[in-house]
Amino acid sequence: MLRLARPEDPGFVRALCASPGNARLLDPPGAGEIGDALADDLLFIWEEGGAPVGFALMVEWVPAVNSIRAFAVAPGGGAALPRGTPRASLRRARRLSHRA
């Protein structure tokens, strides 16, 4: 299940970004980036069995134009995260893009 992040989720996101499998692929979030995304409803958490297994960090380029800045899943989890994220973010966006 994909949901908006809650105040208790930033630690999970930071830990998943810093995990050995992800640290070499993801730029570390900037100072305040996760908190800002949480406050702006641009951070999503993927849960399986009630536990977080992945995240998607969105960025708003201009009003109503969002893209995925980063996403990651824990090993063995979150298979549907990439499919679920764009649908959830469309609540505010008319167009989505992705960074290659």
Question: For the residues 45-56, what does the mean pLDDT come to?
Answer: 90
Question: For the residues 30-49, what does the mean pLDDT come to?
Answer: 90
What's the pLDDT at 35?
A: 93
pLDDT of 55 higher than 60: yes
> What does the alpha-carbon distance between residue 81 and residue 32 come to, in Å, rounded to a whole number?
24
Question: For the residues 13-38, what does the mean pLDDT come to?
Answer: 88
Element (H, E) at 62: strand 51-62
Q: Which domains does the chain have, with CATH numbers?
A: 2-98 (3.40.630.30)
Contacts of 2 (CB under 8 A, 6+ apart): 44, 45, 46, 47, 56, 81, 84, 85, 88
> Which residue is associated with the tokens 């609540």?
91
pLDDT of 26 higher than 50: yes
Please give the share of the chain, as a percent, with pLDDT higher than 90.
28
What's the pLDDT at 79?
A: 61
Residue 43 — φ and ψ, nearest 5°?
-120, 125
